[in-house]
Every structure is written in structure tokens, then in C-alpha cells.
Amino acid sequence: MELDIRNLTKTFGSTAALHGVDLKVASGELLALLGPSGSGKTTLLRCVAGLEIPSGGQILFGGEDASLKSVQERQIGFVFQHYALFKHLTIADNISYGLRVRPRRTRPTAAAIRDKVEELLALIQLPGYGGRYPSQLSGGQRQRVALARALAVEPRVLLLDEPFGALDAKVRKELRLWLREFHDRTGHTTLFVTHDQEEALDLADRVVVMSEGRIEQEGTPEDVYDRPATPFVFDFIGESVRLDIHVDKGRPFVGQQEVSIPRLPPLLFDGPAKLYVRPEHVAFRRDGEGLWATVVSLHRSGSSRRIGFRADGTDTVIEALTPADREPPRIGDRAALEIQAAGLFAA
Amino acid sequence: MTLNAPFVKPSVLPGFRLTIAFTILYLAAIVLLPLGALLYRASSLGVHEIVALALDSRTLSALRLSFLTSFAAAAFNVPFGLLIAWVLVRYDFPGRRFFDAIIDLPFALPTAVAGIALTALYAPNGWIGAVAAPFGLKIAFTPIGVFLALVFVGLPFIVRTVQPVLAEVDRELEEAAATLGAGRLRTIASVVLPVLSPAILTGFALAFARAVGEYGSVIFIAGNIPYVSEIAPLLIVIKLEEFDYAGATAVAAIMLAISFATLLFINLIQARARARYGHV
Amino acid sequence: MSDSSVALAASLEEAPAAGSVAVRPPRRRLPTEEAPWVRRLLITLAVGFLALFLLLPLVTVFMEAFRKGAGAFIHAFADPAAIDAIILTLVVAAIAVPANLVFGVAAAWAVAKFDFRGKAFLVTLIDLPFSVSPVVAGLVYVLLYASHGIFGGLLQANGIQIIFALPGIIMATVFVTFPFIARELIPLMEELGNTDEEAALTLGASGLRMFWTVTLPNVKWALLYGVLLCNARAMGEFGAVSVVSGHIRGYTNTMPLHIEILYNEYQFVAAFAVASLLAALALVTLGIKSWLEHRYAGDLAAGHRH
């Protein structure tokens, strides 16, 4: 089932949570909505689910307008950050809840429900857990039960709201891998919300980066990481240093030195600008051509070393990343920096 | 805790010996000694004699009236207490804070005041009594009057035990049920009510226990007709006025036993709820 | 904005645009909300129930008190027995409330700040008077101190009268109002923990100084609330006091007992006039409670039980 979101807006009182969001999700795609808290990603997900009423725009499920449908009619599967399992029901009763509340004519028989529960318990690798209560399960197990409960109703779209947010780091990673495999096997169109870039980049077919109610960039994890489209994405995803530079006759200058940046589109403006550089895209030599700078800091972190350089004639420190086993320069050493990739935006 | 563990866990804070000693002494003098006196008197009577005294037909009918009307009033308060708790927690409307405050009126209003007010209201010439009279419905000085007084007394117990639990109910549970296709009524019945049920049972038990022992609010409206509208606490007073200490003790012992059973029941409900649902 | 989005963007008042294909109006209700008419119906039912069962009896007290005008109302307090009853009630509250205040603070300190064996049992015992009928509360003191009671002979030999006298009334009142202050303080003090007090001690404060400057300010609103409840109940207690008082006019009659006598003598206006004083006290208590809860919501422990 493909999903088409058109010009969706949502305001809470006088504050706008979504400013006209357009987004298409292909059938069977695993899409991550990534952004800091308050970026509107959860609001977008809840609008798709029908848990929030949009202020304007349309949501099409397979070409059919869902705006007028209630949450019950939308046939979606929703997984909450804190599981929202029914504590007074057994695992089996939790999973079968969506089937048991159906009107009599569409409700499966008791035997069919039992079979479905067994099948789903096997799918989430918790066979034999049907008789237990949620309080007897670990966090990761509870979240798998919540997923099984959402899948039991055979949803057209699966929506996950920070599904790993309440779990500790180790379980998070395991469950993330498990969900990717699970998706590859079952192929549900899936939207999941996260504020964890690693999770989004690891797991999703496509990542949508949101900020302040707008989509900043959408693309594959490679696109988003390697070719950030806006200053926000540069800041939010991965590590980067921002340099205040200026552009003169289409050429970028750091202080008085001109810098050469490969694969940069022609600059059509003059004046102050911002340059975003990732530490792994900074190389340095003791001599030759480049942006001349002085070593001001050295910092060992795990298997790599960070070296801070101050470009001549500026206050800005540019960091470079080198393997820890390479002989480091000393503080005060001079070096020529080569910037292998960067983003440049008018200030 | 092992047997050779110290009585109190060491702490840097001062004053434990002083405060615990005072607490126990005061508790002993005010509560334990007098209740002990009752148990001593009752035990010197013996179970046989207590039962014999209680089986006296007037006592029996008073006990029956007290328990039946208390049970009925607590049961009547369950749906209305739930409704009121729901409205106060979930909806905003003009006067909500006023009505929220007024719930505690039966706690704060002296029972004798409530008693004469209810009697004035439900007596044949009272505002409500006058409305009911043409239909041949007599409220004051009948068991119906006792029932209505106990409804007044018991309402806050249900509302005040359900209210905080309802306020804590996770909206996500209701949203989860809705995404799974459950309608609003179904969601409330299958998701919200089960979460509230320990609180409802606790509130019911508290209201019931209070109603069984209630005196001031009831005696004015009851009319106190032996075998018809005479409640068990009143019987204790009557027996005392006749210097029938044994009879008063027997009735009191039975009522006390019921109070303790109710208290035990409440603790059981809460322990079960904790064990079953845990802290998910 | 495209045409197709108009249906949802339409303002609340506007009907769907003419020619709109939508057969139903857009849903504006969240899935966790009830339809407006259901909501209105439930509010009406709840408010109606409260008005009928709680407000009406309260209004009746004042209506009956002023039934024959302000003159008759004031006349009720010209009766020296009424004045005696008011004075006795104030005396009883003035002794019972401070006694339970000291106990409540001591018990809360021991229970909330320390871990000791049998703590849960002690808390159950403190709660006990809540579940004992007031009549039984009176009876136990009669069994203990009346002339035929366990200590009766001893007391008589020394010329001490407890039952049918002030000490008995005070004791019964203390019993009935026993848990109120402790009950307000214990959950709050447990929630606050010991860190503030420990910090005060490390800064060199003495035990008493720590209590006055750290513990008490933290719990002052809950304490005030407990005192108010205790006071309202102490002044209004009827059953227990009725059993131990002996109804001696001008000597052992508290206000609630005086109301009963007046009522049984068919002096309704006088009875309701005295009752209206107690009802006003109850209203003031509720008003302050509501204000405290609103103003200092965080400083009062949630989930009170009375």
C-alpha cells in the first residue's frame, strides 16, 4: 500500500506543528522520519494514523483519501514508544485484541484467532509466551509483542513511534537489526519516527529529515549523510564544523586564503557564507598547497585521533580525524589542510 | 529481613527513638487499649454468647438492615461515582473546580448536620419528600431514607479513589485500542474499566465499611422503628442506655469484625493488583 | 493550497463547499474523545447528581436556619445552652487537634524517614480508627472508664470522672480524629525523601534546627490541610461523643449534640441555626482545601484517603 501525503498542515492553538508537508511512501518501503524533538515528526505520524486531526491537506492510502476516515477505519498498525500493552490482558489476548473487537460478521472464529496468535508469537520469537502478562516480559519482548499486536489486524501501513526509545542501548541495537530482517521478510509499508540518526541511517530504505514542521531533506541514508542539502541537515546528521567564510567573485575565502573545494556547484553570489566540513573530509600535510593552519589541540578518542587546526587569520578551529596509530603532529606545528568535501551556504 | 537484622536501619537523621516511642505510646493509649478493652470484654463473653445475643431477632434485623442498605448504597454509588470521576477528570466545564471541591462535603460536614438536613429534605413536607409523597413513596423514616443517607456518606469514597487512578490512565492505551479497531465504548469497557477496577473495588469497600458504622447521618432520617428502620450502631447506643454492656459489646464485636474483614479485603485487592499488573 | 484540501481546511463553522464530493463532514473529534452530545449529557448527569445529593442538603441547612428570618436565627444563640455548647466544642477541638498534631508529626517522622521492622503494621494501626464506627469508638471508652468499666472502680476510688464528663469527650474525639494529620504527612514526607535533611545536617544544623528550617517548610501546606480536616471532624463529631457524653445540658453538650436535642424538641430553626455554623465551618475547610490544592498542587501528596 503506498502512502501519499499532500500539503499536510497542523496547528496546535497558535503554533504550527506542520507547515504543508508533502511526502510519498512507496509500497513496501521502510521509511524513517528523523528529526529533533519538536520537529513535527511524531505529529506527522499521528496524523497518518488518525490519532491527530490535520488542520489542512490530504492523506491518501493507495490513492484513496483517508482524511475522512476514523482511526478505526484506517486499518493501520501503530506501535507506541512505551508499548501501550494492556496490562490486564495476557500476551495472547493483547495480540488478538484487534481481531476480537471486530463486529461479528468480520470476526475470525476462535480457532482462527488462536492460530493467528500462535503464528505471530512464532514470528516475534516468543512462542509459548501467550499465557503471560506484559509485566512478566522484558522491554524488548514487550515491544515485539506490541508489534505483533499491530500486525494481527493485517494493517495496510505500519507506523512506529520511537519504537526503541524506551529500551537500553544494547537491546536497541539487537531489536533494530531484528526489525530490518523482519521487514525484509514481511514487506509492510512502514513509517517509523526516531530522533536517533544512527538508527535511521542503519535501518531505513529512505530517510526524511524534519525540522520545525518542514521536511529538510529526503533521500537514501547515503544521500542524507554524504550530501546534506541544508545547513540543518549538516548540523543534525553526523559531525561537522561550521566556518564563517566569505565569497568573492564566486571564489570562497577563509580569512585571506582561498580554499579549493571539489565538486562544489558554481557560486552565484558574493558575500558572507557558511562552510560545513566533516572531520573525516579534512586531510593535512606538512607542506604543499592548501589552507595553512596551526595545530591547536590533540585529542585521542578510541581508535582515532582528533586534531584541531586554527586557519591562519581566523578564530575558527577545524577538526581533522586521523587513525590513532599515525604519528600525530605537535601543538604549534604548521600544516596545509585539504578539504575533500564540504557544503557551502550563503549566510 | 533476617532475624538478627537491627530493628531500625541505621540513619544519620536524629529523633527516631523519641518519635517512635511517642508514636507507640500514644497509639497504645488512644487506640489499642480501648479496642483491647472491647476484645477483652467480648472474649469474656465467648463466641457462643455473642452469637446468642446477636441472634436476638431485633439485633438480627438491625444488622440485616445495616448491611443491606450499606451494600446497596455503595453499589449505587459505583456507577455514579465513576461517572462523576470521569467528568471531573476528562472534561472541562464551567464550575468544574467547584464541583470537584464539593465532593468532599460528606467528609467535612458534621454527620448530625447532614442527618437533620437530609431529614428535612426527604420528610413528607420537605422539598423532595413532598414531590415523592403523592406517588405514595415514603422516604424518610423508612429503609429508603437510610439508603439515601448512606449514598450521601459513601459518594466521596468512590470518587476520590477512582479519580487519581483515572487521571493516571495512559491515553496511549486508548489510542492503541482505537488503532486496533475498537470503538469508543468498547475501548472504555475493555481498556479503561479493567485498569480502574481495583480502585472501584477499594472505593466500594471503603464506602461500605463507612456506611455500616455510620450513625449521625442516619439516625434522624431513619426514624428508628424497631425491626423496620433501626440500624446496628443505634442498637449499641440503646443497649448502652439500658446498661446492657454485654449486648452492646456483642454487637460492637460483630461490627468490628466486619470492619477488619473489609480492611483485609482492601489490602488483598491492592496486593493482587500490584502483583498482577506490576509497574509496566 | 490545492482544491482537494479545502474540505479539511474549512473552518469549524463553514459547511463543506458546494459540490464537494465528501459525503460526510470531516472528522474533528480525536479518537480518545467522546461526541460533544455525549460529553454534554455526561456532564449534565454528573452535575445533576451532585446538585441533588450534595448541594441540596447543604442548601437546606441554611434555608431552614433562616426560615423564620434573621431574628429567629440570632435568637437561637441567645440560649445559654447554645453558647455553652459552642464553648465546649471549641475547648474540645483546642485540646484534641494539638494532641493529634504532635502525634501526627512524630509518627510521620518515624514512619517516613526511617526503615524499621513492622512499619507496615504500624501504619495499618494508625489507619485503624478510620474503619471503626464512631459508636464503637465511644463504646470502647465506656467499657474502659465507666463506673462498671474495667478501670471504673479505680477511677471512682480516686474521684475521677471520665465518662459523662469532659475527659471522655476529648478522648473520644481524639480517637476519631486520630489519623488525619499523620495520614496527610506520611505519603508526602516519604515522597520527599531524606536528602534535604541530610544536606542540612552536613551543613552543621542541629536536629531541631533542621526540623524547623527544612522539614517543616517542606510539608507546611499538607500539615495545614491535615489540621483543617482534623479540626472540622473534631468539632463535628457526633456518634462517639454522643455515647460518652451523657447529654448533660450546659455541661457535656457539644454543638452536634445540642443540635440533636433541639431537633428532637422540634426547635427546628434553632437546630438548623447551630447546624449552619458547623456547615459554614465545613465550607471554609473545603474552600481552603480547594485553594491549597490549586495553588500548591505539588506540595500535597496525591490520592488522599479520609
CATH number for position B201: 1.10.3720.10
Domain hosting B216: range is: 45-277
Instruction: Based on the fold, state whether residues A175 and A318 are members of the same structural domain.
Output: no
Residue B261 lies in a domain: yes
Q: Which of A68, A69, A72, A78 to mutate to test the interface with C (most CBs of C within 10 A)?
A: A68
Beta bridge partners of A247: A252, A271
Q: What is the mean pLDDT of residues C295-300?
A: 65
Q: What angle do CA C99, C236, B251 make, to 5 degrees?
A: 90
Q: What is the DSSP letter of B4?
A: T
Angle between helices C80-113 and C268-295 (to 10 degrees): 30
What is the Cα–Cα distance from A138 to A124, expressed in whole angstroms? 14
What is the Cα–Cα distance from B211 to C303, expressed in whole angstroms? 21
More confident residue, A178 or B111: B111
What residues contact C217, with CB distance under 8 A and at least 6 apart? none
Instruction: Based on the fold, state whether residues A99 and A139 are members of the same structural domain.
Output: yes
Q: Is C140–B35 a contact, with Cβ atoms under 8 angstroms apart?
A: yes
Residue B19 lies in a domain: no
Instruction: Based on the fold, state whether residues A217 and A256 are members of the same structural domain.
Output: no
Instruction: Based on the fold, state whether residues A275 and A128 are members of the same structural domain.
Output: no
What is the Cα–Cα distance from C86 to C259, expressed in whole angstroms? 11
What is the Cα–Cα distance from A10 to A52, expressed in whole angstroms? 9
Residue B204 lies in a domain: yes
Set of cell numbers at residue A326:
599515525
Closest-CA residue to A209 (of A64, A21, A58, A66): A21
Among A212, A230, A248, the domain boundary falls at: A230
Residue B153 lies in a domain: yes
Nearest CA distance, C101 vs chain A (angstrom): 41
Residue B135 lies in a domain: yes
Closest-CA residue to A148 (of A73, A93, A203, A87): A93
Give the position of cell 517509523: A192
- Cβ pair A49, A5 in contact under 8 A: no
Among A168, A203, A230, the domain boundary falls at: A230
Mean of per-residue pLDDT scores for chain B: 90
Residue B1 lies in a domain: no
Residue A325 is part of a domain; what is its CATH number?
2.40.50.140
Instruction: Based on the fold, state whether residues A162 and A79 are members of the same structural domain.
Output: yes
pLDDT at C191 over 60: yes
Instruction: Based on the fold, state whether residues A45 and A169 are members of the same structural domain.
Output: yes
Residue B140 is predicted with a pLDDT of 87
For C128-158, the pLDDT digits (tens) are: 888 899 999 999 999 999 888 888 888 888 8
| Closest chain B CA to residue A166 | B280
Candidates B176, B278, B279; nearest CB to A78? B176
* Helical ranges in chain B per DSSP H: 16-27, 33-45, 47-54, 57-90, 96-102, 105-108, 111-122, 127-132, 143-168, 171-179, 184-187, 193-213, 216-222, 232-241, 245-277
Nearest CA distance, A142 vs chain B (angstrom): 10
Banded model confidence at residue C298, pLDDT cuts 50, 70, 90 = low
Instruction: Please give the full DSSP string across B203-264, using - where no structure is assigned.
Output: HHHHHHHHHHH--HHHHHHH---TTTT--HHHHHHHHHHTT-HHHHHHHHHHHHHHHHHHHH
In this predicted complex, what is the ipTM? 0.90
Residue B192 lies in a domain: yes
Residue B45, CA distances (Å) to A253, B49, B247, B249 in order: 105, 6, 10, 9
> Which residues of chain B make contact with A51, given a CB cutoff of 8 A?
175, 178-179
Residue A122 is part of a domain; what is its CATH number?
3.40.50.300
Sequence letter at residue C289: K
pLDDT at A159 over 80: yes
What is the Cα–Cα distance from B132 to B137, expressed in whole angstroms? 5
What residues contact B165, with CB distance under 8 A and at least 6 apart? B195, B196, B198, B199
For B227-239, the pLDDT digits (tens) are: 989 999 999 999 9
Instruction: Please give the full DSSP string across C81-141, using - where no structure is assigned.
Output: HHHHHHHHHHHHHHHHHHHHHHHHHHHHHHHHH--BTTHHHHHHHHHGGGGS-HHHHHHHH
3-state secondary structure of A33: strand
Q: b/e map of C274-299 (b: 16 or more CB within 10 Å)?
A: bbbbbbebbbebbeebbebbeeeeeb
- Cβ pair B188, B90 in contact under 8 A: no
25-64 in chain C: CB under 8 A from chain A: 26-31
Q: What Rg, from alpha-carbon coordinates, does chain A have? A: 25
Instruction: Based on the fold, state whether residues A99 and A206 are members of the same structural domain.
Output: yes
What is the Cα–Cα distance from B251 to B257, expressed in whole angstroms? 10
Residue B216: CB atoms within 10 A of its CB come to 29
- Cβ pair B247, B53 in contact under 8 A: yes
Overall number of domains in chain B: 1
Instruction: Based on the fold, state whether residues A209 and A244 are members of the same structural domain.
Output: no
Residue A34: CB atoms within 10 A of its CB come to 30
Overall number of domains in chain A: 2
Among A171, A202, A230, the domain boundary falls at: A230
Q: Is C61–B113 a contact, with Cβ atoms under 8 angstroms apart?
A: yes
Instruction: Based on the fold, state whether residues A29 and A134 are members of the same structural domain.
Output: yes
> Which residues of chain B make contact with A86, given a CB cutoff of 8 A?
173, 176-177, 190-191, 194
What residues contact A105, with CB distance under 8 A and at least 6 apart? none
Residue C39, CA distances (Å) to A315, B44, B84, B92, C35 in order: 63, 59, 12, 10, 6
Instruction: Based on the fold, state whether residues A70 and A218 are members of the same structural domain.
Output: yes
What is the Cα–Cα distance from B39 to B254, expressed in whole angstroms? 11
Query: Is C139 an 8 Å CB contact of chain B?
Result: yes
Instruction: Based on the fold, state whether residues A62 and A143 are members of the same structural domain.
Output: yes
Reported pTM: 0.87
Mean of per-residue pLDDT scores for chain A: 91
For A19-73, the pLDDT digits (tens) are: 999 999 999 999 999 999 989 999 999 999 999 999 999 999 988 888 778 899 8
Domain hosting A220: range is: 3-230
Candidates B181, B195, B279; nearest CB to A72? B181
pLDDT at A176 over 70: yes
For B226-273, the pLDDT digits (tens) are: 898 999 999 999 998 888 888 899 999 988 888 888 878 888 887 887
A100 class by beta-carbon count within 10 Å (0-12 exposed, 13-18 middle, 19+ buried): middle
Residue B27 lies in a domain: no
